[in-house]
Amino acid sequence: MAILPIIRMGHPVLRQLAEPVELPAKPEIRRLAVDMIETMVAAPGVGLAAPQIGQSLRMIVYQMPLARLQAQPDGDEPNAPMPPTVLINPVLRPLSDDQRYRPEGCLSIPGIRGEVPRYRHIAYSGYDLDGQEISGEAHDFHARVLQHEVDHLDGVLYLDRMVGMMSIGFLDAIPTEDDDEESEES
Ligand code: NI
Computed from CA positions of residues 21, 23, 26, 32, in that sequence, does the dihedral angle turn out positive or negative?
positive
| Catalytic residue chosen out of the listed positions 149, 177, 181, 184 | 149
**Is 149 among the residues known to form the active site?**
yes
Please give the Cα distance from 7 to 65 (Å, whole number): 23
Residues 4-28, mean pLDDT to the nearest whole number: 98
Distance of CA 147 to the CA centre of its chain: 7
Q: Is pLDDT of 12 > 60?
A: yes
- How sure is the predictor about 44, in pLDDT bands with cuts at 50, 70 and 90? very high
Q: Is pLDDT of 61 > 80?
A: yes
- How sure is the predictor about 178, in pLDDT bands with cuts at 50, 70 and 90? low
Q: How far is the CA of 104 from the centre of ligand 1 (A)?
A: 9
Q: How far is the CA of 15 from the centre of ligand 1 (A)?
A: 12
- How sure is the predictor about 182, in pLDDT bands with cuts at 50, 70 and 90? low
Near ion ligand 1, which residues have CB within 5 Å? 106, 186
Please give the Cα distance from 49 to 21 (Å, whole number): 13
Q: Is pLDDT of 74 > 80?
A: yes
Q: How far is the CA of 46 from the centre of ligand 1 (A)?
A: 9
Residue 125 pairs in a beta bridge with 91, 135
pTM to 2 decimal places: 0.95
Q: How far is the CA of 14 from the centre of ligand 1 (A)?
A: 10
Q: How far is the CA of 131 from the centre of ligand 1 (A)?
A: 25
Distant-in-sequence, close-in-space partners of 129: CB < 8 Å, separation ≥ 6:
23, 24, 25, 29, 30, 33, 86, 88
Task: Specify the pLDDT at position 81.
Answer: 95
